[in-house]
Structure 1
Amino acid sequence: MSKHKGIVACGHPVTANAAAAILDEGGNAFDAALAAMCAACVAEPVLASLGGGGFLLARPTGGRFANRPIVFDFFPQTPKSRRPLDDIEFYPVLADFGPAQQEFHIGMGAIATPGAVRGLFEVHRHMGRLPLRRIVQPAVDLARTGVAMNPLQAYFLAIVAPIFRSTTESEAVFASPERPGALIGEGEALRLRRFADALEVLAIEGDDLFYRGEIAQAISADCRARGGHLTPDDLADYAVALREPLAAEAFSSRLLLNPPPSNGGLLIAFSLELLRDAQLSASAFGSAAHVGSLVRVMAATNRARLEQALHRLPANAAAEAFLSPALVDAYRNHLLGRPWATRGTTHISVIDAAGNAAALSLTNGEGSGYIAPNTDIMLNNVLGEEDINPHGVHAWPRDARLSSMLAPTIALGRDGSLTVLGSGGSNRLRTAILQVLLNLLAFELPVEQAVTAPRIHLEAETLSVEPGFGEGAAALLRRHGADVAFWNEHNMFFGGVHTVRMERSGAMIGAGDPRRGGIAQLV
């Protein structure tokens, strides 16, 4: 048992304060994670919204699920019917990250059935200790009094400004209070009074207000009139799925990962299996052996994902098939035997004094531009994200839980340690989490150093590299067969892995990833 009440790591000090307040009042890790989720919708409005969805990986020490890890899957669901492409509002916008650009699709036709509100209530029903009204109160207060946009949040908003300007409703919600015609900027306070009202009423009336009641009726009516797919049945029938985590062994730790139908955890497990005999622990961080292994494994994982048509494997068989020893050995032998020349999300990690652990990843995509009436809640654009539409945009299966790269992760060390981590960052988050896991487990770096160490990411034929690797490693990277992009500074492009750890002694340490404004707070 720790002498502290808990620890949280997340993407904004205000988000952390909400979790800390709940821990201080006697709430558990799950209460704190839910409070932080709601607060993030105000403090991190580009990355978090109750109009999206996500996952909470729970490792409880008591109650109904005592010592039985469970995943709450409240990721968006595809609609039951698909309107013709020429009958929907669906169009591209370009997000400019500086050295890299990415195209997203928005509009009413990009909205999938949101799961975050139902997830909030379902996690609370199973895991909560404090009343829900108390848990959402920090977010209610923040939404009314306002949260000043810090430099990083203002930067995020500038990247996706075309989305937040795409409707008059969104432009009004996120308008600068001081500069007519501009979006809210650094130092200006974002107030979401209708969001505060909506949270308060939801906490009293329940989640049916969002899925069957007045809010649901308004959303479905707007979709019908303005080119969306969602119907009243899509909202009314949405259900949170409870799943057993995907378990893996690596570097003397037992890992709990997000299971299929989501692919992020499965791909991390595959990468770790490829590295099983790489003897990374015998090399130094940033060495040629380290970065060479990383690039080869990223390439092999990407290739296996495509060649084995991971997106077509049935969810109940995907882990067994994709992690089969024969398949892993085939890719391991291939990559070791050849020469080496060849997306908006936030995360919250919480541990409390009793050892309860919550890893919560939340996404709204980049947002659709549509604001649910009288709520200040922007709905997602998940149907427009290529990363999670492997069948092709507008070719999604009807009434199905979409796959996701979100990968909330828990590591249980043989030394008695408990580590919780996860990341935002679209398709890049799995390589970010993989590298932090290796830093912690293989290289045994301190938590803060493991999180802030430089990263690489291989996507298609482009290898992106953060500064900070030694000259020997950098020279090796330059010889890579793909295009190599050396970044001038650490960037949100490489994810934001917010991490907390409890040692066997009860000592708690944590690190928020500065790439995404991260902070760790001990209570």
Structure 2
Amino acid sequence: MTGAIAAGHPLTAEAGQRMFALGGNAFDAALAALCAASVVEPVLTSLGGGGFLLARATGRAPILYDFFVQTPRRRRATDDVDFRPVIADFGTAQQEFHIGSGAIATPGTVRGLLHCQRALGSLPLREIVAPAVEYARAGVEVNALQAYIFSIVEPIYRATPAAESIYGGAALAGQGSLFRQPELAETLAWIGDEGDAPFYDGEIAARLVTLSAEAGGHLTRDDLAAYRVIARTPLEHRYHGWRVATNPPPSSGGTLINYALSMLDGQALHGLEFGSIEHLHTLAHVMTHTNVARGDGLLARTEQHRRLMEAYRAAVRGHPLNTRGTTHISSIDAHGNAASLTLSNGEGSGCILPGTGVMLNNMLGEEDLNPHGFNRWPCDVRVSSMMAPTLAEDDRCLIAIGSGGSNRLRTAIVQTLSNLIDFGMSPDEAVNAPRIHFERGQLDVEPGFDDAAIDSLTARYPENRLWNSHNLFFGGTHTVCWDGRTFSGAGDPRRGGVFLAPRRTADR
């Protein structure tokens, strides 16, 4: 079978293309890419984290598979918890994160991998994990983006002796160093042979429970044994003739994307010039209203908007929000199967699952998850997320899209979709076009817009930041399109993106 994939690293995309070469479908490709990303994009994702897969099998309605992290069933006494702050240095700013075994939520990635492979895949699990096993054993050269990300979170990846032993050498040595992960290779091979049972009911689960008990964590065997993937009906919206499906509540990103698209519905953007004064003011206005509506709904201008935001707030109530680091994978095959997959490990907890090479998540350290103070998160609930894997389709074309980028991913997806649908851009043009982002009173603007348009926009939004170059701050909308005959797409260069497609494609 032929197919195309877009992802955040050349080897992540290559792993997916290898599945197509073996006759696999879009879901095999996405899951192989998931495994590869845990090796070659180690800060952005891990087998110790979680994610979401939006899947559209040919002739069937899309389904959202939620395998994001779950809060533990019980909270340990605060005085017994290993939970500590660490400062990440972004160069121009610093940010405090929280790590330690007390920051680890129940991971879902491995169970999600197995669940989705059984439900959607066509290749044996050993084939799906094989590229990742190879990369981890042979080693991967640290590229410029990964070196930069490692430099930001270096204190986390040196926080424990186990983390130091894995990452303290080649991974943190900088661009061009060869990073080998032999323990992770064996773990991936073990998954290929035995599935997810060792992680949730067997030997690896026992190691995690022991780590948690001895090192100040919350997780117990009950948390792991009870973890399940949740299949959800996607949130759908009609936008200018396109059917757009995305991540539903309790996650929030998809609802905010739908809200923004519903506001753009009434705008004749196709009659405007991209980057014009009118276009940029429209985007900024929509972002402003979406942010306010998310908070209190006072500016939800129509009954439709009010109902949408009321449903959103009701669905996410009691589900703490995670907004941290992410990576994304999009794939479509020549039969019309489509996968949009977004993954996260937070920044990592600094804790390694013993004997596996797996960095565990730090999702319980998310500030939005602890609005009343740390270690006060609600027990045994699926954590909400801003992640929003998305599919869009009309009678002529199918699009798989998503993004990393914390809170910025939703505005990145909206702008890229609008570029494709309203301005008729190619995927490469749509992904590479400059973006804006408005949040918490500040407007961020990438270079590439006309000076007059920027002057008009910044006069309206005096709290602003004009960037000198395109930046991963603005997300990474890795995108694949399929028109029934030809694949097109783009990996977003802001986040190391790569797009791979066959030179010749068959009819759908």
What TM-score results when the alignment is normalised by the length of structure 1? 0.90
Looking at structure 2, the residues matched to 487 and 392 of structure 1 have their Cα atoms a distance apart, in angstroms, of: 34
- The question of 1:146 aligning with 2:146 is answered no
- The question of 1:349 aligning with 2:330 is answered yes
Structure 2 counterpart of 1:24: 21
Deviates more, 1:321-330 or 1:241-250: 321-330
Q: Secondary structure at the match of 1:45?
A: coil
Please give the per-residue CA displacement for 1:378-416, whole angstroms capped at 9, x wherever unaligned: 0111111235556654332110001000000000023x2
Decide which of 53, 65, 68 is 1:75's aligned counterpart: 68
Decide which of 414, 417, 425 is 2:397's aligned counterpart: 417
Per the TM alignment, residue 121 of structure 1 is displaced from its structure 2 partner at its CA by 0.1
Looking at structure 1, the residues matched to 363 and 372 of structure 2 have their Cα atoms a distance apart, in angstroms, of: 14
Decide whether the 8 Å contact of 1:42 with 1:142 is kept in 2: yes
Percent identical among aligned pairs is 54
Looking at structure 2, the residues matched to 499 and 72 of structure 1 have their Cα atoms a distance apart, in angstroms, of: 19
- The question of 1:36 aligning with 2:17 is answered no
Q: Secondary structure at the match of 1:426?
A: coil
Per the TM alignment, residue 463 of structure 1 is displaced from its structure 2 partner at its CA by 1.3
Decide which of 232, 254, 265 is 1:265's aligned counterpart: 254
Q: Secondary structure at the match of 1:479?
A: helix
Provide structure 1 residue ranges, at least 5 long, that are not aligned to the other structure: 310-320, 332-342
**In the superposition, relative to structure 1, how do residues 330 and 47 fare at CA in structure 2: closer, same or farther (>3 Å)?**
closer
Q: Secondary structure at the match of 1:215?
A: helix
**In the superposition, relative to structure 1, how do residues 457 and 388 fare at CA in structure 2: closer, same or farther (>3 Å)?**
farther
Please give the per-residue CA displacement for 1:452-474, whole angstroms capped at 9, x wherever unaligned: 11111112122111111111221
Looking at structure 2, the residues matched to 393 and 452 of structure 1 have their Cα atoms a distance apart, in angstroms, of: 39
Decide whether the 8 Å contact of 2:293 with 2:309 is kept in 1: no
Decide whether the 8 Å contact of 1:53 with 1:363 is kept in 2: yes
1:57-206 aligned within 5 A: 57-61=54-58, 66-177=59-170, 183-206=172-195
Per the TM alignment, residue 205 of structure 1 is displaced from its structure 2 partner at its CA by 1.7
Looking at structure 1, the residues matched to 167 and 387 of structure 2 have their Cα atoms a distance apart, in angstroms, of: 27
Looking at structure 1, the residues matched to 416 and 89 of structure 2 have their Cα atoms a distance apart, in angstroms, of: 26
Structure 2 counterpart of 1:283: 272
Amino acid in structure 2 at the alignment position of 1:501: C
Decide whether the 8 Å contact of 2:147 with 2:172 is kept in 1: no
Decide whether the 8 Å contact of 1:477 with 1:484 is kept in 2: no
Amino acid in structure 2 at the alignment position of 1:251: H
Looking at structure 1, the residues matched to 347 and 223 of structure 2 have their Cα atoms a distance apart, in angstroms, of: 21
Per the TM alignment, residue 102 of structure 1 is displaced from its structure 2 partner at its CA by 3.2
Decide which of 220, 228, 237 is 1:231's aligned counterpart: 220
Decide which of 181, 195, 220 is 2:209's aligned counterpart: 220
Looking at structure 2, the residues matched to 184 and 79 of structure 1 have their Cα atoms a distance apart, in angstroms, of: 35
Please give the per-residue CA displacement for 1:66-95, whole angstroms capped at 9, x wherever unaligned: 412111100000100112333211122233
Per the TM alignment, residue 296 of structure 1 is displaced from its structure 2 partner at its CA by 1.2
Looking at structure 1, the residues matched to 406 and 122 of structure 2 have their Cα atoms a distance apart, in angstroms, of: 32
Looking at structure 1, the residues matched to 301 and 112 of structure 2 have their Cα atoms a distance apart, in angstroms, of: 28
**In the superposition, relative to structure 1, how do residues 388 and 277 fare at CA in structure 2: closer, same or farther (>3 Å)?**
farther
- The question of 1:495 aligning with 2:472 is answered no
**In the superposition, relative to structure 1, how do residues 168 and 479 fare at CA in structure 2: closer, same or farther (>3 Å)?**
same
**In the superposition, relative to structure 1, how do residues 482 and 209 fare at CA in structure 2: closer, same or farther (>3 Å)?**
farther
Structure 1 counterpart of 2:355: 374
Amino acid in structure 2 at the alignment position of 1:440: L
**In the superposition, relative to structure 1, how do residues 268 and 175 fare at CA in structure 2: closer, same or farther (>3 Å)?**
same
Decide which of 452, 464, 488 is 1:484's aligned counterpart: 464
Q: Secondary structure at the match of 1:488?
A: coil
Q: Secondary structure at the match of 1:350?
A: strand
Amino acid in structure 1 at the alignment position of 2:16: A
Amino acid in structure 2 at the alignment position of 1:443: F
Deviates more, 1:378-387 or 1:442-451: 378-387
Structure 2 counterpart of 1:471: 451
Per the TM alignment, residue 96 of structure 1 is displaced from its structure 2 partner at its CA by 3.0
Matched residue pairs, number?
488
Amino acid in structure 1 at the alignment position of 2:85: P
Per the TM alignment, residue 360 of structure 1 is displaced from its structure 2 partner at its CA by 0.6
**In the superposition, relative to structure 1, how do residues 267 and 250 fare at CA in structure 2: closer, same or farther (>3 Å)?**
same
Structure 2 counterpart of 1:317: none
Q: Secondary structure at the match of 1:256?
A: strand
Structure 2 counterpart of 1:55: 52
Amino acid in structure 2 at the alignment position of 1:78: T
Decide whether the 8 Å contact of 2:443 with 2:461 is kept in 1: no
Per the TM alignment, residue 225 of structure 1 is displaced from its structure 2 partner at its CA by 1.4
Decide whether the 8 Å contact of 1:171 with 1:183 is kept in 2: no
Looking at structure 1, the residues matched to 421 and 74 of structure 2 have their Cα atoms a distance apart, in angstroms, of: 45
**In the superposition, relative to structure 1, how do residues 247 and 329 fare at CA in structure 2: closer, same or farther (>3 Å)?**
closer
Structure 1 counterpart of 2:440: 460
Per the TM alignment, residue 294 of structure 1 is displaced from its structure 2 partner at its CA by 1.2
Decide whether the 8 Å contact of 1:55 with 1:361 is kept in 2: yes
Structure 2 counterpart of 1:522: 501
Deviates more, 1:103-112 or 1:391-400: 391-400
- Alpha-carbon RMSD: 2.0
Looking at structure 2, the residues matched to 91 and 468 of structure 1 have their Cα atoms a distance apart, in angstroms, of: 41
Provide structure 2 residue ranges, at least 5 long, that are not aligned to the other structure: 311-323, 503-508
